[in-house]
Structure 1
Amino acid sequence: MNKITAQFQGEKPLITYISGGDPSLEMTEKLIYKLQAEGVDIIEIGIPFSDPLADGPVIQEASQRALKAGTTLKKLIAKINEIQAQVEVPLVLMGYYNSILNYGEKDFARDIAEAGVSGVIIPDLPVDEKAELSKYLENYGVSQIMLVTPNTSKQRLKEITAKSSGFLYCVAHLGTTGDGQQGVYPKLENYLKRVRKAAGELPLGLGFGIDGPEKVRKIIDYPDGIIIGSALIKAIQAGETEAEMLENAGKFAKEIKNAIKT
Structure 2
Amino acid sequence: MPDRAFFPGRGPADIGLALFLNAGDPPLSVLPDLLQMLDESEVDCLELAVPFPNSITDGPVIRQSADRALAEGTDLDAVLKCLDSVRLRHTRIALLADWSHTVRPLGLQEFVATVRDAAVDGLLVHGLPPLRRAAYREATAEAGVQVVATCYPRSASAVLTESAATASAYLYLVAHYGRTGSAPAAGFTHLGAVIDDLRDRTDAPIAVGFGVRGPAEVAALAAAGADAAVVGSAAVAVVERALAERRDAVEDLAGFVATLKSTTTQRS
TM-score w.r.t. the length of structure 2 is: 0.87
Say which is worse superposed, 107-116 or 219-228, in terms of deviation.
107-116
The correspondence of residues 242-261 of structure 1 with structure 2, limited to 5 A, is: 242-243=247-248, 245-259=249-263, 261=265
CA distance in 2, matches of 1:88, 1:106: 29
2:145 corresponding residue in structure 1:
142
Residues 23, 69 of structure 1: 8 Å contact kept: no
1:156 corresponding residue in structure 2:
159
Q: CA offset at residue 142 of structure 1?
A: 1.6
CA RMSD of aligned residues (A): 2.1
Find the partner of 1:221 among 223, 236, 243.
223
Q: CA offset at residue 192 of structure 1?
A: 1.9
2:5 corresponding residue in structure 1:
4
Equivalent AA in structure 2 for residue 251 of structure 1: G
Say which is worse superposed, 172-181 or 68-77, in terms of deviation.
172-181
CA distance in 1, matches of 2:222, 2:185: 18
CA distance in 2, matches of 1:145, 1:12: 18
2:173 corresponding residue in structure 1:
170
Find the partner of 1:57 among 57, 60, 80.
60
Greater helix proportion: 1
CA distance in 1, matches of 2:38, 2:189: 30
CA distance in 2, matches of 1:153, 1:8: 31
Equivalent AA in structure 2 for residue 9 of structure 1: R
Q: CA offset at residue 122 of structure 1?
A: 1.8
After TM superposition, the runs of 4+ consecutive aligned structure 1 residues lying more than 4 A away are none
1:42-96 Cα distance to aligned partner (Å, 9 max, x none): 111011101222211111111000001111122112211232x356421111132
Find the partner of 2:97 among 91, 95, 109.
95
CA distance in 1, matches of 2:129, 2:208: 19
CA distance in 1, matches of 2:255, 2:26: 19
Indicate the SS of the match to 2:84. Answer: helix
2:74 corresponding residue in structure 1:
71
Does 2:91 match 1:120?
Answer: no
2:28 corresponding residue in structure 1:
25
CA distance in 1, matches of 2:156, 2:9: 26
CA distance in 1, matches of 2:90, 2:32: 13
Corresponding residue pairs, total? 258
Indicate the SS of the match to 1:117. Answer: coil
1:149-203 Cα distance to aligned partner (Å, 9 max, x none): 022111221122112111100011110111147464562222222222222x221
Does 2:130 match 1:104?
Answer: no
TM-score w.r.t. the length of structure 1 is: 0.89
Indicate the SS of the match to 2:257. Answer: helix
Say which is worse superposed, 113-122 or 12-21, in terms of deviation.
113-122
CA distance in 1, matches of 2:31, 2:158: 39
Does 2:189 match 1:195?
Answer: no
